[in-house]
Chain A
Amino acid sequence: MKIAIASGKGGTGKTTLSTNLATFLAEKHKVVLADLDVEEPNSGLFIRGNLVHSEDKDKKIPVWEEDKCTLCGICQKVCNFHAVIQLGPQIMVFPELCHGCYACSELCPTNSLPMVSKKMGELKEFKKGNLSFVESRLIIGEEQAVPLIAQTQKYIEHKFFEETIKIFDSPPGTSCPVIEVIKEVDFVILITEPTPFGFHDLKLAIDTVKKLEKDFGVVINRFGVGNNEVVDYCEKENIPILAKIPNKREIAELYSNGEIVYTHVPEMKKELEKLIIYILKLKKDNK
């Protein structure tokens, strides 16, 4: 059972919800929490477990081997990303533009562009009771998050049983990194705040999830701030509102110190209980 926690707008509470939900669920169930916001992974600030595994994650890029090259120009012609350029008597490779499709390497008649590994990030796995926590972080300067997200999902797929509840803390936005996460899951929780920005970006996120034909529900964070647009919209569109986390300064303060919130704030705990009942029912129906 895989659940993504996503939002169009950044800073609406994805990490707060992911870490609190996973910790609460882990009181009784086996849970995996994965931070797939590899550009800015924050869940690890809230989950302090024991490191059980760590590995480098590589992408493959071509390197030019001058001696065999006949400068035929095929590599440049077949690269759709302008990552391989022929400049006079030499071939230049721009690793940050390379998507790792292997076309230049495998279509080279003299094997002058072998693919080699280049580190793009690190994966770490931690354990804390019932909770396994996996995070990957992209090396700064690497532009493409998608390959690292894909490899992290593969790691989780192989490492954990299917029936384990897996929660994916997603990157913000609606473009390729989010799609990479959402396309793999059974259910999406969209978290928003009841403000014009939150509402606008929620609608974008809903369009994205619908396009991927995923089941989803909404959690409203900072409930009470702002206006009623989000609630009215969800009611009109028959979108389930799974929980309403109140707008409380205490929550913002606990969060700012990297603390888990629900154990201190009963209203938050109550809302998470509702959400957990919903998830466990989903899991049962899913079987």
Chain B
Amino acid sequence: MKEIVIISGKGGTGKTSFAASLAYLGGSDVVVVDCDVDAADMHLLLKPDFAKSEEFFSGELAVIDQEKCIKCGKCKEVCRFDAIPIINNQYIVDPLSCEGCGYCARVCPVNAITNEDLNVGNWYISNTKINNTLVHAKLGIGADNSGKLVAKVKDEAKKIAVSTNKDYIIVDGSPGIGCPVVSSLSGANFVVLVTEPSASGLHDLKRVYELVKKFHIKAGCIINKADINKDKVEEVKSFLKEENIEYIADFPYDIDFTKAMIKGETIVEYDNGNLKNLVVESWNKIKESVK
């Protein structure tokens, strides 16, 4: 079983459109994972049935019992996150600032502080319209710990892939280079970098590839919207060469990507010509590379 992760550094380069298309082509050979847990969009194209849903608890929040509190101020003193302001003469925990380290509870002389487990979101195992399994999640609004939720959905997907003998796991990652991206990279066999030929696209590609290198994972690159800037395409390509990243394909800036999205379809369902061929070719190349 091979795990293929799709990331980009920069947002909006087309990760989800490609990941969903690969999921479509892979059909029942693949388990699909949406690791962009705080802005998950894969379900809009793959139409999952949300068959199994579970809550996800991670991290803690300090809660102060005002009846027990003797207002000594020790909790506020030790808190490095400025999470315990005094409001109306009471020590109150600001849930947005509390990191859940538990230090305050440990120093409270009257045990007035308890730590509550936090429900940070839900995760789901679904059947999609193309009859493969999608493991996905929804992080609660403003919740922390997206990295842990990513690790959870990936873990569940792996179990399913192993127990049902699937060939591939396709992982749609999140933008950036922080904890959710680090979580989505761990254990991967191949990384597909989706970029666009712009100053920002290239800048972010370079940063995210630095991260990929730390994991020693082989990578390939898709250049989306390639006809927007031919010079930048050449810059991207020379970067790929320098770093030994496989060039997979380039795609034109095409309104059909948006039209397909509006119909709730992957590009390989919507298009029957050039775009579909390009995706099929890309999928074959990726499969070859992870052999």
Contacts and interface: CB of A to CB of B under 8 A. Distances in A.
Interface residues of B, number: 61
Interface stretch (B123-131, B153-161, B192-200): B192-200
Interface string B61-94: 0000000000000000010110000000000000
Interface string A10-44: 11100100000000000000000000010110100
A78 B204 contact: no
Interface residues of A, number: 58
A42 B147 contact: no
Interface in B20-77: 36-39, 41, 44, 60
Given A9-B41, A40-B176, A140 B210 contact: yes
A283 B40 CA distance: 35
B101 A81 contact: yes
B178 A144 contact: yes
B211 A252 contact: no
Interface in B185-211: 196-201, 203-204, 207-208, 210-211
Contacts of A257: 198-199, 229, 232
Contacts of B103: 78, 101-103, 107
B78 A106 contact: yes
Nearest to B177: A39
B78 A102 contact: yes
B198 to A, nearest CB: 4
Interface stretch (A85-93, A172-180, A263-271): A172-180
Interface in A194-242: 195-197, 200-201, 204, 207-208, 211-212, 225-227
Given A171-B176, A172-B175, A174-B139, A42 B203 contact: yes
Contacts of B214: 140-141
A72 interface: no
Interface in B138-186: 139, 141-144, 146-147, 174-180, 182
Interface string B205-235: 0011011001000000000010011001000
A42 B202 CA distance: 10
SS class, residues of chain A in contact with chain B: loop
B241 interface: no
B13 interface: yes
A176 B146 contact: yes
Contacts of B44: 196-197, 200
The 10 closest A-B pairs by CB, nearest first: A10-B11, A11-B12, A101-B101, A258-B199, A256-B198, A39-B176, A256-B229, A10-B175, A143-B179, A103-B103
Interface of A: 8-12, 15, 37, 39-40, 42, 45-46, 78, 80-81, 99-103, 106-107, 138, 140-145, 171-177, 179, 183, 195-197, 200-201, 204, 207-208, 211-212, 225-227, 249, 252-253, 255-258
Given A173-B174, A225-B255, 14 more contacts: A11-B10, A40-B207, A45-B199, A80-B101, A101-B103, A140-B207, A145-B176, A172-B175, A196-B44, A196-B262, A204-B39, A249-B253, A257-B198, A257-B199
22 contacts: A9-B41, A11-B11, A15-B200, A37-B176, A99-B99, A99-B101, A101-B101, A102-B78, A107-B106, A140-B214, A143-B147, A143-B179, A145-B178, A175-B143, A176-B146, A183-B96, A204-B141, A208-B142, A226-B262, A255-B198, A258-B198, A258-B200
